[in-house]
Structure 1
Amino acid sequence: MHFHPSQCLFPVQTSSSSQALGMQQALELPDCGKCIPVCSDPGNAAGCSGSSTGSIGKGPVMSSAGCGNPYAGLVALLRAAWRSGKTRPMEYRMAQLEALGRFLEEKKQEILEATAMDVGKPSFEAYLIEVLLCKNELNNTLNNLCHWMKDEHVDKNLMTQLDSAFIRKDPYGVVLIIGPWNYPIHLLLGPLIGAIAAGNCVVLKPSEKAKNTGKLLAESLGCYLDSDCFAVVNAGVQETTRLLENKFDYIFFTGSPSVGRMVMASAAQHLTPVTLELGGKNPCYVSDTCDVRSVARRVAWGRFFNAGQTCVAPDYVLCSLEMQEKLMPALREAITEFYGSNPRESPDFGRIVGQKEFRRIRALLCSGRVAIGGQTDEEDLYIAPTVLADVLPSDPIMQEEIFGPILPIVVVASMEEAIDFINERPRPLAVYAFSSDCKVVTQVLERTSSGGFCGNDTLTHMTLSSLPFGGIGCSGLGKYHGKFTFDTFSHQRGCLHRNMGLEALNTLRYPPYSQQKLGFLTATFQIKRKGTCTLL
């Protein structure tokens, strides 16, 4: 469900609201008012060129006489489809998920090309994250959906022993998923998989920075998914602000904390629940007892993957001065091994997404001392894999998430100081710890707080569908991946179905009250403590 250039169903709206201006200032992104071609027959992928007449379901959705919200008609159409019960049967959900799998397979090359044009992503990295991880999520969901959807029966008290008590996994309704530019397929379709599995209708909003990926999704997804229930909206900042004015039943946002606050504020107007997948400065503690070469390779891979534009990348290293001196040659060797003597010529090293981000990251090079790399080329949006030594906590690079190929090293005297350093700052999306002594890794795990944790590696924890992925505090709210995504988009509805007979048992709770009735009720409702605990 999307829009044809010659028939702009959702024209650009100029909003003067303070929220729109605030979001514009936070992102400073150009508005994208272009409409996107639509497939007239979403159920027929083979015969769809993605360039027909602009129909949506059974007809076009128009803004309400130009005076209402331009997206109100779209949201209303999806809500009508959801209320019809169309998305509730398991067979429907499975069919839509399988169609999404066909999209990933048949459009694989287009996905690789679009992500390369948008963010200079190497095809190896694009396939691994954008395609393979999405397929893993999809297949895991298809393999388990029947089990996940089942009612979950719960314990009962004596009064309800003859009744049925269970948790029903209900869809929320019409949900909005807003994706980022750094992994424009995976971080949009990953939540979509769970939203479909849970039985929701979905509005997808790709990042306006990933224009080619957004265009691909808008032109192609409608050829695979049911256009009555799923829509792609390509919009700039002001249009997204207008989109957020509509009442959604759930909003899933991935992006920066500053914009996340605005999304949450918009959701609060309708008391809409949200998941916010944000970011932060992920610390990486390296103890004095470790295999330095292995640490250097694993940290360099995690930091420079996608040119450092990864929300869970290790943002800085904490180690002793002695370990810093050992790490430098090992990191230099790893960078050369990965990208050659001139990483700019390597097909395996990405580029920065845009000039604004390039200039912001380049300005951070004034921190500490450039020990490795440091070369830049604005025309090519290239910043070399860079390591900064002797960085101080007060340096500019330690005041914000880097989101680029720079690795600062901050010297600490001990593990105790490293843990204090971590705990004195906002809780990150991930904490990393390297040591040959498992007790050290365990200490860092037990004495810090973060969205996720990975010992003796970087990034790999987020590849497991069996682990929840999400932040805490400033790094995010909520979790997803695998069944956690299904649960995120499902309302856990507590249900009790009572027997109509045995009414005599219910008289115990009816007036007139008596101590005898209270005694009987206490006996049937009371939960007794099992065992004892002695505090020494």
Structure 2
Amino acid sequence: MGSQPEDKAVFDTESGKEMVKELRASFVAGKTKSYEWKVSQLKAMLKMMEENEAQIIFALRDDLSKPELESSIYEIGMLKNSCRLALKEMKHWMKPEKAKTSLTTFPSTAEIVSEPLGVVLVISAWNYPFLLSLDPVVGAIAAGNAIVLKPSELAPATSSLLAKLIADYLDGSCIKVVEGAVPETTALLEQKWDKIFYTGNGRVARIVMAAAAKHLTPVVLELGGKSPVIVDSDIDLKVATRRIIAGKWGCNNGQACISPDYIITTKDYAVKLVDSFKCELEKFYGKNPLESKDLSRIVNSNHFDRLLKLLDEDKISSKIVHGGERDETNLKIAPTILLDVPKNSLIMKEEIFGPLLPIIMVDKLEGSFDVIKSLGGKPLAAYLFTNKTKLKAKFVAEVSAGGLVVNDTTVHLAEHNLPFGGVGDSGMGSYHGKFSFDAFSHKKAVLYRSFGGDSSLRYPPYTRGKLRLLQALLSGSVLRIIRALLGC
């Protein structure tokens, strides 16, 4: 009789407590703070990707039917770039920043020292389960923290692979992975962390933030929202259409936090725009997009049913002008365009996070800003296609979003010199490049003074003359200081 497989150990609150204790011991010992340790971990992560790229691509296809190009470029390639950038710039990031001092503390010098926060928790999302798991970890390593990664259970193949690879390649005394669902996440959230980095939706973000508040733990929340696309008529329509398609259906079939959520254009231009979409979508995905190997599937049946509920609402089903086909067995929905969608429909009340793209029509394009404001919230991204300088300036001045892009979509994600993060309902905090290092660092103020230049001004007995001179010094006005010294 064959031996029975061992039951997997239950991860509960006590397990979490012991794990955090172990990680904190490693951190307190200073293991994660050295430049050499950081370099070794980032190089190990690069090696991990180079030696296991085929396995990673296979796991992403298993979880999401993600095309190889999207997996290789948008997940693995972007993460490699993050590692390489950190390796190149980390020594510079770690250096204290010189700070100016004022007359108030003269004579003195000052600097700002970046120090790691301690033991941090990264809770990842399912839509880009490899990139969104490890990209924050790169910043946490560079800053010198001990780390726990909780991958999404909705991408089980990638979660399992991450647990195996991280155990094999990275320092297990300082970096750990916890797999599981709600019970495991709950057990993790009961622990005291020095920072929690969460990528996902607003509902869970509120749970994360409430748990963090019990320990006064700071959070970074990378969420989403209804990211609008404003389309003017004075543009290269073919290029604009292709760039919107790339950002919508070319990014995990719309299952991306910065994916275009809806379009606003004028009534006069809408039909021309729809015709361009039909033409370009057929070029990209063929006459039967449900058979295309270049479109990801919907992650699971719950999300599939959620999208169909949006699509099959009475006031919406008649608005479909392209697509709408669905394959329940394979969890696929064709790229779908809806024209003249009512603003009070279900599809306009929540983030779509799928292959449906509504178009709202306005009389004049300047009315787009009122539409965006009326839908409430501040999206993670907003896009504008135009050649008009005044419209660009108005867009930047009036639209509040995590990030803005003019004449393209989603590409700001790849620019490491820009912070990536939300505002309001779309999140708080930012990362990418040095912003990732900063997200997991404390900026410690340090002021240096000598024993020389000591003044009796700050010491009792207090006099009116001392008061006037100190007020003058605090004001920074040379004229007031001279007048106070002269007793004026």
**Structure 1 residue 12, shift from structure 2 partner:** 5.0
- 1-structure distance, mates of 2:409, 2:168: 37
- 1-structure distance, mates of 2:448, 2:394: 48
Q: Letter of the aligned partner of 1:105 in structure 2?
A: E
8 A contact 1:96–1:226 mirrored in 2 = yes
1:29-65 CA distance string (max 9 Å, x none): xxxxxxxxxxxxxxxxxxxxxxxxxxxxxxxxxxxxx
8 A contact 1:168–1:495 mirrored in 2 = yes
Q: 1:234 aligns with which of 179, 190, 197?
A: 179
8 A contact 1:157–1:524 mirrored in 2 = no
Q: Name the SS of the counterpart of 2:149 in structure 1.
A: strand
Count of equivalent residues:
469
Q: Letter of the aligned partner of 1:257 in structure 2?
A: G
Structure 1 spans left out of the alignment, 5+ residues: 14-67, 531-536
**Structure 1 residue 81, shift from structure 2 partner:** 0.5
Q: Does 1:341 align with 2:287?
A: yes
- 1-structure distance, mates of 2:440, 2:281: 41
What are the equivalent positions in structure 2 for 1:237-316 lying under 5 Å apart? 237-305=182-250, 306-316=252-262
- 1-structure distance, mates of 2:42, 2:277: 42
Taking a change above 3 Å as real, the CA distance of residues 207 and 364 of structure 1, as seen in their structure-2 partners, is: same
**Structure 1 residue 498, shift from structure 2 partner:** 2.3
- 2-structure distance, mates of 1:526, 1:369: 64
- 1-structure distance, mates of 2:33, 2:461: 45
- 2-structure distance, mates of 1:208, 1:463: 26
Q: Letter of the aligned partner of 2:269 in structure 1?
A: M
Q: Does 1:393 align with 2:339?
A: no
8 A contact 1:208–1:236 mirrored in 2 = yes
**Structure 1 residue 523, shift from structure 2 partner:** 4.7
Q: Letter of the aligned partner of 2:243 in structure 1?
A: R
What are the equivalent positions in structure 2 for 1:217-228 lying under 5 Å apart? 217-228=162-173
Q: Letter of the aligned partner of 1:74 in structure 2?
A: M
Taking a change above 3 Å as real, the CA distance of residues 158 and 529 of structure 1, as seen in their structure-2 partners, is: closer
Partner of 1:198: 143
Comparing 391-400 and 359-368, the one that deviates more:
359-368
**Structure 1 residue 445, shift from structure 2 partner:** 1.7
Q: Name the SS of the counterpart of 2:417 in structure 1.
A: coil
**Structure 1 residue 330, shift from structure 2 partner:** 0.5
Q: Does 1:472 align with 2:417?
A: no
Give TM-score scaled by structure 2 length.
Answer: 0.93
1:273-307 CA distance string (max 9 Å, x none): 00000000001111122222222111112111211
Q: Name the SS of the counterpart of 1:76 in structure 2.
A: helix
Q: Letter of the aligned partner of 1:444 in structure 2?
A: F
- 2-structure distance, mates of 1:8, 1:324: 56
Partner of 1:511: 460
Q: Does 1:154 align with 2:99?
A: yes
**Structure 1 residue 415, shift from structure 2 partner:** 2.1
**Structure 1 residue 362, shift from structure 2 partner:** 1.4
- 1-structure distance, mates of 2:477, 2:79: 46
Partner of 2:475: 526
What are the equivalent positions in structure 2 for 1:497-508 lying under 5 Å apart? 497-499=448-450, 501-502=451-452, 505-508=454-457
Q: Does 1:429 align with 2:380?
A: yes
**Once the two structures are aligned, what percentage of the paired residues are identical?**
43
Partner of 1:418: 368
1:365-387 CA distance string (max 9 Å, x none): 13251111110011110100111
- 2-structure distance, mates of 1:208, 1:506: 63
Partner of 1:487: 438
**Structure 1 residue 390, shift from structure 2 partner:** 1.6
Q: 2:332 aligns with which of 376, 382, 389?
A: 382
Q: Letter of the aligned partner of 1:352 in structure 2?
A: I
8 A contact 2:396–2:404 mirrored in 1 = yes
Partner of 1:169: 114
8 A contact 2:338–2:359 mirrored in 1 = yes
1:482-505 CA distance string (max 9 Å, x none): 001111100011111322x22x61
Q: Does 1:86 align with 2:31?
A: yes
- 1-structure distance, mates of 2:177, 2:211: 20
Partner of 1:44: none
Partner of 1:439: 390
- 1-structure distance, mates of 2:379, 2:107: 48
- 1-structure distance, mates of 2:150, 2:420: 21
Q: Letter of the aligned partner of 2:122 in structure 1?
A: I
What's the Cα RMSD here? 1.6
Partner of 1:404: 354
**Structure 1 residue 164, shift from structure 2 partner:** 3.1
Partner of 2:300: 354
1:449-471 CA distance string (max 9 Å, x none): 10100111111111100111011
Q: Letter of the aligned partner of 2:262 in structure 1?
A: Y
Comparing 316-325 and 243-252, the one that deviates more:
316-325
Q: 1:75 aligns with which of 20, 23, 36?
A: 20
Give TM-score scaled by structure 1 length.
Answer: 0.85
- 2-structure distance, mates of 1:199, 1:115: 29
- 2-structure distance, mates of 1:456, 1:71: 47
8 A contact 1:291–1:436 mirrored in 2 = no
8 A contact 2:100–2:109 mirrored in 1 = no
Comparing 429-438 and 248-257, the one that deviates more:
429-438
8 A contact 2:319–2:340 mirrored in 1 = yes
Q: Letter of the aligned partner of 1:419 in structure 2?
A: F
- 2-structure distance, mates of 1:344, 1:7: 40
1:15-38 CA distance string (max 9 Å, x none): xxxxxxxxxxxxxxxxxxxxxxxx
Q: Letter of the aligned partner of 1:104 in structure 2?
A: M
Comparing 411-420 and 509-518, the one that deviates more:
509-518
**Structure 1 residue 159, shift from structure 2 partner:** 5.2
Q: Name the SS of the counterpart of 2:147 in structure 1.
A: strand
**Structure 1 residue 89, shift from structure 2 partner:** 1.3
- 1-structure distance, mates of 2:150, 2:443: 26
**Structure 1 residue 321, shift from structure 2 partner:** 1.5
- 2-structure distance, mates of 1:302, 1:6: 45
- 2-structure distance, mates of 1:91, 1:498: 32
- 2-structure distance, mates of 1:172, 1:477: 18
- 2-structure distance, mates of 1:189, 1:439: 40
**Structure 1 residue 166, shift from structure 2 partner:** 1.0
Structure 2 spans left out of the alignment, 5+ residues: 480-488
Partner of 1:112: 57
**Structure 1 residue 130, shift from structure 2 partner:** 0.9
8 A contact 2:220–2:429 mirrored in 1 = yes
- 2-structure distance, mates of 1:296, 1:438: 21
**Structure 1 residue 223, shift from structure 2 partner:** 1.6
